[in-house]
Amino acid sequence: MYGKWKMALAGLGVLAALVWVPVLHAILLGFNLVMHLVVMTGQWLALRSRKRRKTPLNWQGTTQPFVTVQVLTHNEPPELVIETLRSLARLDWEAYEVQVVDNNTTDPAVWRPLEQACRELGPRFRFLHVEGLSGFKAGAMNWARQFIDPRAEFLFVVDADYVVEPWALRRAVAYGADPKVALVQFPQDYRNVCPENRGIVAEYRHFFSGYMAMADRLGCVPSTGTLTLVRVSALRALGGFSEDCVTEDAELGLRLMLAGHRAVFADERIGHGLLPHDLRTLKRQRWRWAFGNAQILRTCWRQLLFKPGPNWRQRVGCFVHLTAWFNFNLIPSLSLIVLAALAQLGVMTAVQPYLVVIAAFTLLSYFILRSATLSVALRRDGLPVSEIARACVVHAGLGWIFSTSWLKCLWSPDEPFGRTDKFIGAHIPVGLRAVGVELLIGIALLASAGILIAADFVLGPIAAVLMAGARFSVLWVAREMKATFGATEKAWELMTRKPKAVRPQPAPVEVEDLELVKPA
């Protein structure tokens, strides 16, 4: 709490300086505009073309590589995790183990059922519980590496809420058969989907349809944390996962690229998880994604720019996908509000009308370029215009998160790991506290538009109205998340029904490989 007040006071100090020193305000707006154009132009150029990867039909080998499937849990609903474990017991692969790593869950009533489930599923499943561990999810994965089977050639990371298809490992190992490939990433997909939350789903999907496909083409694929196959020898050579970043998955992809390894994005759906079920949880997840990528850029920009090895396409691609959740709208939005207040008071200087134009141009170009990138990414997957429009509204509604997270990282790079809480009973679908800031900013922007119209500005009022609409779009996001809440309740009802018995799995062995068949 003290840190938030400290940031607020610092922000007021900066605001006062900008009001009284227009030249400083102009420099800040100009720099913000340049960064905005660099990021948005890079995203547009990188997403213009897409190369579809040839799907491997067969894994070429005499014996199956041994795979350690790793499921990380922290205070997760036992029913949810057990459903994931049952899906892993049905994998069409012989040479694998499942390592369930529960870290820092203090309530035995939460983690003991997982231990029992692993015992019932057979010797292939190993349960590990540890408390007092630091380093967030990365710390748990690094700690668990000492317990993986020494035969393991690959580590397959699965989130605790993902139900995977039986052919998942066959497909993953097929893509990773090339010894130069150190990482294979599959897209995230979801099962608590209904007609009323298609905008949320499409907005998630655009990252994989656009940015991940671009990264695959340019040779800079990051990990996204689940449904990820990592070559154990490459991970060991890098010293494991970084515990200094809340998006350790994306950071691993960057380090693998800098070390000369290849990474592959396999655009196949091999598992389905659960969307965050309320607006506050969704915003917390998106904050972590954007903030974590800002952490990576803050700490690794020198290596990204200057370390020998990667070509310029890979460097540009990394910058583009690491800034996928950024926007630069906060400074121009607040500038319009402040400048409108000065116009109302009749104290604008000769420079400040031009600042209205710069702020307005930044916001208007954002709407054009962001709508274009979303449309290009989603049209390739054949989504209808209505769903693309809903995705644009959802993205705009989450813009407050995307515009403040990277600024917070510039101020202070330390941030606790904001996990996605999956205990549905602990939440309500939406509350005023989850949308209050956006609504206040939207109202201020509408008032600013009226003042700027009266002061004979043209671009400023248009930009202010559009940005106010973007802030009010959080209400549409809340509407779709209410539908997601209902869809999640239905998914929970299916989970809690008496499951079909799963035959205990035998201990992992190395066997001769059978011909791989592409799933329908």
Average pLDDT, the chain: 85
Q: Rounded to whole angstroms, how far apart are CA atoms 445 and 442?
A: 5
Per the domain annotation, does 61 fall within a domain? no
Q: Rounded to whole angstroms, how far apart are CA atoms 33 and 130?
A: 47
Per the domain annotation, does 507 fall within a domain? no
Per the domain annotation, does 198 fall within a domain? yes
**Are residues 285 and 337 located together in one domain of the fold?**
no
pLDDT in tens, 115-140: 999 999 999 999 999 988 887 788 89
Per the domain annotation, does 509 fall within a domain? no
- What's residue 350's pLDDT? 86
Per the domain annotation, does 506 fall within a domain? no
Query: Residue holding tokens 């710069």?
Result: 358
Return the half-sphere exposure (C-beta side, CA atoms, 13 A cut-off) of residue 37. Answer: 9
**Are residues 338 and 229 located together in one domain of the fold?**
no
pLDDT in tens, 280-337: 889 999 999 999 999 999 999 899 999 998 999 899 899 988 998 888 888 899 899 9
Parent domain of 290: 66-312
Per the domain annotation, does 501 fall within a domain? no
**Are residues 281 and 340 located together in one domain of the fold?**
no
Per the domain annotation, does 57 fall within a domain? no
Q: Rounded to whole angstroms, how far apart are CA atoms 370 and 39?
A: 11
Last residue within a domain, chosen from 287, 312, 337: 312
pLDDT in tens, 338-352: 999 999 998 888 888
Look at residue 39 and tell me whether its pLDDT is greater than 70.
yes
Per the domain annotation, does 56 fall within a domain? no
**Are residues 307 and 331 located together in one domain of the fold?**
no
Contact of 117 with 98, CB cutoff 8 Å: no
pTM recorded for the entire structure: 0.87
Query: What interhelical angle do 399-411 and 279-306 show, nearest 10?
Result: 50
Distance of CA 189 to the CA centre of its chain: 12
**Are residues 299 and 338 located together in one domain of the fold?**
no
- What's residue 509's pLDDT? 44
**Are residues 143 and 166 located together in one domain of the fold?**
yes
**Are residues 91 and 152 located together in one domain of the fold?**
yes
Q: How many domains does the chain have?
A: 2
CATH of the domain at 230: 3.90.550.10
**Are residues 125 and 183 located together in one domain of the fold?**
yes
**Are residues 114 and 175 located together in one domain of the fold?**
yes
**Are residues 434 and 287 located together in one domain of the fold?**
no
**Are residues 203 and 341 located together in one domain of the fold?**
no
Query: Residue holding tokens 């020193």?
Result: 21
**Are residues 229 and 262 located together in one domain of the fold?**
yes
